[in-house]
């Protein structure tokens, strides 16, 4: 069975040193499970259990709900302001986790 847009969530996470965030569309019922797995792999404990190596550190984890919006002029086959346009899915992301920046301890003088 194909889920409806209202039943999908966009999970987006940023890893330290990555050039762009990872994104996955998941059923809304699976969001908590995926977020827990991402945090376990990339933050606490932050170790890949299959090879024992440290994983890239999680910087931010966000979850978004999608909504349909009217398309812009460039989504219409006529490329005009009027006429039928393709609707676009817009994601409203909410941050669920953000790593605190690591601060180097102050050297005693």
Judge whether residue 108 has pLDDT over 80.
no
pLDDT single digits (tens) 17-27: 999 999 999 99
Indicate the domain borders of the chain: 5-98
Give every CB contact of residue 23 below 8 A, 6+ residues apart in sequence: 10, 11, 12
- Comparing C-alpha atoms, which of 20, 25, 22 is closest to residue 41? 22
Judge whether residue 102 has pLDDT over 90.
no
């Amino acid at each position: 069975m194909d889920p409806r847009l209202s039943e999908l969530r966009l999970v987006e996470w940023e890893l330290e040193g990555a050039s762009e965030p990872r994104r996955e569309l998941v059923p809304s019922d699976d969001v908590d499970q995926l977020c827990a797995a991402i945090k376990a792999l990339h933050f606490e404990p932050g170790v890949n259990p299959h090879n024992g190596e440290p994983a890239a550190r999680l910087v931010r984890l966000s979850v978004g709900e999608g909504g349909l919006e009217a398309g812009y002029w460039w989504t219409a086959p006529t490329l005009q302001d009027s006429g039928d346009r393709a609707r676009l899915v817009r994601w409203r992301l909410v941050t669920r986790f953000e790593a605190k920046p690591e601060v180097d301890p102050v050297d005693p003088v």
